[in-house]
Structure 1
């Protein structure tokens, strides 16, 4: 299996988790298998204030996996905050995000990275779009409504921004305006900055164990405000200039 041989891995996989103790070990094993396609990689688990055995399981896994890094929030700050903590700590130029519940299949990681890097520098993001979703009927209905409203307002050309599987250039990510729920608006904001977005169909699957830790109703009204804010950011963005240093 490929492992990082120096301080400059090619890909950093970021996994935000909160109270996912039963899902940590099997998902890490799958990520390791998928990342064998890369010459060097690292995996950063960001523990978003877990109160179960997640920290202990991660500590145990790290003993035999030198490419596994662990970050921890003292209290839960949300999924976008966890992804940002991972991105700031990452050492690779390409970031891959994946949910920690096992619904995202790590086998699609190489495809996302390939779409991002082989498409030339014009691509800033490769976003997964779920096929055959395994959520409840009510949750799928919520997602369809939210995606339809978002698409009509932002015109981001993406049918599913809620998929956790994404590959993005680190420099592109760090230039995005940060706010809670940023991960749900990345395609629109990446396009806002003049980059193209590659879309990759990925097969959804049931979560491995447990229940979702990031609910719908607790973010509904905030999501409406976020949508209005992103629309404003896009409307107020001027085309970036071509900068040339003069000597």
Structure 2
């Protein structure tokens, strides 16, 4: 099949969620608005995640995987997924499935006009502390980037692959994907999507990761913005 859309699924110690991930993504691929394949990126899991991923891929032709030698973090996993994508469009979703694969179709409706479409989690089903820390972190990041996005941490995005592959990712920069598309003079939009409580597994981000860490990343983004090289070829011979 000629796939047009790749869904990247970063995985780190998610053995309790992976069978549900398989079921929901398989169901979504049957009603996806574009021919869709799935790419697991195992970020050095220490549980049975790799064993389960290999079993899932062996019984589903549109599922594939890459596996890191050691844990390198979410940004590295997302970048690896982008690097190994061969379709014109790429998206990603977290393996905790707190967002719904079916909502990719909502984002795909807008990708023709835009270069990145990101979800905004409506009626978030997280704790008060998690919600407030995310709101504060998003407010700080928005003040630095002026990207107008309310929820860059939403793990449901669709990007034109040519833009995704040009993002100079570094640790923590997954929170700045919309801003990095703007640096390429791309167009971005946010669309409300569903949100659900985590059913299994452990959250990978605490207060430091969600609030204090992103503050230091803002300064890294400002440095990159000043140094970013962007050009357009007008003619060649």
Structure 1 pair 65–233 and aligned structure 2 pair: CA distance change class (3 A):
same
Q: Report the CA distance between 1:218 and its aligned residue.
A: 4.8
Of the three residues 78, 85, 91, the one matched with 2:80 is: 85
C-alpha contact 1:35 1:110 (8 A) present in aligned 2: no
Structure 1 partner of 2:116: 125
Question: Is the counterpart of residue 94 in structure 1 residue 89 in structure 2?
Answer: yes
Q: Report the CA distance between 1:246 and its aligned residue.
A: 4.4
Q: Report the CA distance between 1:221 and its aligned residue.
A: 4.7
Question: Is the counterpart of residue 181 in structure 1 residue 172 in structure 2?
Answer: yes
Give, in whole Å, the separation in 1 of the partners of 2:44 and 2:105.
29
C-alpha contact 1:116 1:198 (8 A) present in aligned 2: no
The secondary structure found in structure 2 opposite 1:63 is: helix
Uncovered stretches (5+) of structure 2, i.e. residues with no partner? none
Give, in whole Å, the separation in 2 of the partners of 1:64 and 1:70.
13
Question: Paired residues, what number?
Answer: 236
Structure 2 partner of 1:15: 9
RMSD: 1.8
Question: Is the counterpart of residue 134 in structure 1 residue 128 in structure 2?
Answer: no
C-alpha contact 1:101 1:207 (8 A) present in aligned 2: yes
Uncovered stretches (5+) of structure 1, i.e. residues with no partner? none
Give, in whole Å, the separation in 2 of the partners of 1:146 and 1:242.
33
Give, in whole Å, the separation in 1 of the partners of 2:231 and 2:166.
15
Give, in whole Å, the separation in 2 of the partners of 1:216 and 1:56.
31
Give, in whole Å, the separation in 1 of the partners of 2:177 and 2:222.
13
The secondary structure found in structure 1 opposite 2:7 is: strand
| TM-score, length basis structure 1 | 0.89
Of the three residues 143, 151, 172, the one matched with 2:142 is: 151
C-alpha contact 2:134 2:210 (8 A) present in aligned 1: no
Question: Is the counterpart of residue 245 in structure 1 residue 231 in structure 2?
Answer: no
The secondary structure found in structure 2 opposite 1:160 is: coil
Structure 2 partner of 1:31: 25
The secondary structure found in structure 2 opposite 1:116 is: coil
Give, in whole Å, the separation in 2 of the partners of 1:38 and 1:80.
27
Give, in whole Å, the separation in 1 of the partners of 2:231 and 2:49.
46
Of the three residues 143, 147, 166, the one matched with 2:157 is: 166
The secondary structure found in structure 2 opposite 1:115 is: coil
Structure 1 pair 60–227 and aligned structure 2 pair: CA distance change class (3 A):
same
C-alpha contact 1:95 1:167 (8 A) present in aligned 2: yes
Q: Report the CA distance between 1:237 and its aligned residue.
A: 4.8
Q: Report the CA distance between 1:216 and its aligned residue.
A: 3.5
Q: More deviation in 129-138 or 25-34?
A: 25-34
C-alpha contact 2:93 2:99 (8 A) present in aligned 1: yes
